């Protein structure tokens, strides 16, 4: 059970770390957008080029929030796996370790995973509808194919659900498994914030 939890956590970690690299193109696009608007946008020789028409400020800004959204959505599961999300420490830190594990277990199974299911179900339906009608940006010069960014919502929440299942499995091992596995499975029973691993 602990091995299955580790596999799920590893999948969320790999995806989250890969998504972090989207920060680089996002920052480059932001810098170029600012440079184009402040310095090149007043040059009539530049504003009549095909390049300018293809990469309007509206498209660049939409690309920025698309990349930011994908980065955020794909890193959610990674954040939960690393226990770096916000908690109500005033309540949680007063509880005993076993009680914390029970709270985490019930929270993951009764709230997080069902919520993820609803988001995945309706998010997929919304993305398919956007694909079928050919939905694009509301702006005339915006990006087409809105289904791509809408489809990232259910994808991101798949990894949140996997992270929740990983946490639930660890809590089950901590609560009902042998004492020899307690140290390896007690991540969600400890104080918050935990000591962050070197790769966090």
Q: Give the model confidence (pLDDT) of 139-164 as tens digits.
A: 877 888 999 999 999 999 999 999 99
Confidence check: pLDDT of 200 > 50: no
Confidence check: pLDDT of 5 > 60: yes
Residue with structure tokens 């005339």? Answer: 140
Percentage of the chain beyond pLDDT 70 is 94
Confidence check: pLDDT of 121 > 60: yes
187 DSSP 8-state letter: G
Query: pLDDT category, 191, cuts 50, 70, 90?
Result: low
Confidence check: pLDDT of 198 > 50: no
**129-140 average pLDDT score:** 90
Query: pLDDT category, 106, cuts 50, 70, 90?
Result: very high
User: Two tokens at 150?
Assistant: 């809408």
| Contacts of residue 169, Cβ cutoff 8 Å, sequence gap at least 6 | 1, 2, 4, 5, 8
What pLDDT score was predicted for residue 10?
Answer: 95
**31-48 average pLDDT score:** 83
Average pLDDT, the chain: 87
| Contacts of residue 85, Cβ cutoff 8 Å, sequence gap at least 6 | 79
Confidence check: pLDDT of 182 > 90: no
Q: Is the C-alpha dihedral spanning 37, 40, 42, 44 positive or negative? A: negative
Q: Annotate 4-50 with DSSP letters as a single string.
A: HHHHHHHHHHHHHHHHHTTHHHHHHHHHHHHHIIIIITT-HHHHTSH
Mind listing the pLDDT tens digit for each residue in 67-96? 999 999 999 999 999 988 777 777 777 888
CB 8, CB 169: distance < 8 Å: yes
């Amino acid at each position: 059970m602990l091995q299955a939890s580790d596999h799920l956590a590893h999948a969320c970690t790999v995806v989250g770390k890969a998504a972090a690299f989207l920060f680089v193109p996002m920052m480059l696009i932001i810098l170029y957008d600012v440079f184009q608007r402040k310095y090149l946008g007043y040059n009539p020789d530049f504003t009549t080029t095909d390049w300018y028409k293809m990469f309007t400020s509206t498209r660049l800004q939409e690309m920025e929030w698309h990349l930011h959204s994908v980065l955020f959505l794909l890193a959610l599961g990674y954040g939960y796996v690393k226990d770096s999300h916000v908690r109500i420490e005033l309540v949680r830190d007063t509880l005993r370790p076993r009680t914390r594990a029970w709270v985490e277990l019930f929270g993951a199974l009764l709230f997080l995973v069902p919520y993820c299911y609803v988001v995945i179900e309706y998010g997929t339906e919304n993305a398919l509808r956007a694909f079928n009608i050919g939905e694009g940006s509301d702006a005339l010069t915006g990006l087409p194919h809105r289904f791509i960014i809408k489809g990232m919502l259910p994808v991101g929440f798949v990894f949140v659900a996997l992270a929740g299942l990983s946490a639930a499995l660890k809590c089950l091992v901590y609560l009902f498994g042998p004492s020899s596995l307690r140290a390896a499975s007690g991540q969600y029973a400890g104080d918050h914030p935990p000591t962050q691993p070197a790769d966090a």
